[in-house]
Copies of this chain bind each other. A is one copy, B any other.
Amino acid sequence: MRSYGQYCSVAKALDVIGDRWTLLIIRELLLRGACRYTDLRAGLPGIATNLLAQRLRELEQAGVLAREDAPPPIATTLFRLTARGEQLESVIDELGRWGVPLMVEPREGEEFRAHWLRFPVELFLLDSAPERPPVTLELRTGGEPVTVCTTPEGVRVCAEHVPQPDAVLSGTPQLVLGVLSGALELDAARARGLELEGDPGVLARLLPAARDVPAPLGGHIPVSGGGEAYARSAGDATAPGPYPAGR
């Protein structure tokens, strides 16, 4: 990318990761760990193959990621974030947090990968009973299912399939996300097609963190111009939004 030519740490950062697709490549590597070229392509629907190759080259030279040979059985190269690259997690986190209100409008024909849910889910869920035995919640939103697990470190999302989840939530991404963010009552979501199988207590255990939060997308909010609708629905244009604020 052409440099901004400014002696400012924000501009310098954007010189490295401000290019189109770059931060989404970082997102994939953060979410999925070391990836093959093909895995990256699968997680970045819409990217041109030459662009992906070019970005990977640039990011390698910038010290953000490194390529390594996979262990003997398989002969392929893996792309993995360096320590410096992993420090971008907080940037991606904040971006993802800011972007959550934009998820209310599903828009026709958008791609979806279940592992992308990890950012909002780990933001919104909190284990209200960590002393009790761990539980698992499977989310089926279209693609591969993902599993939400309670761990001593907090609520985590893992891609591996768990044989006997304690509960299963099935439906469109916006219904699942609406319920998990506390913006949509479970009954309302069910009325609109969400299905919950297994132990309902699992949801109750994980959701309370989101309950404190006013509901920004309760029914059908007509999203007109953009983020404005979201700010207006919060009732006060100058107050911070209903989602957890930065830091």
Contacts and interface: CB of A to CB of B under 8 A. Distances in A.
A24 interface: yes
B46 A8 contact: no
A128 interface: no
A109 B6 CA distance: 9
> Copy number in this complex?
2
Contacts of A245: 87, 90
Nearest to A105: B12
Q: Which of A9, A112, A120, A230 has the most CB of B within 10 A?
A: A9
A221 interface: no
Contacts of A27: 8, 10-11
B46 A4 contact: yes
A20 B11 CA distance: 11
Interface residues of A, number: 70
Nearest to A20: B18
A225 interface: yes
A121 to B, nearest CB: 11
25 contacts: A4-B24, A6-B116, A8-B99, A8-B116, A9-B95, A9-B103, A9-B116, A9-B120, A10-B27, A11-B27, A12-B99, A12-B102, A13-B98, A14-B24, A18-B20, A61-B225, A63-B227, A63-B228, A82-B231, A83-B241, A84-B231, A87-B246, A89-B246, A91-B246, A93-B94
Interface of A: 4-16, 18, 20, 23-24, 27, 45-46, 61-64, 82-84, 87-103, 106-107, 109-113, 116, 119-120, 173, 225-231, 237-241, 245-247
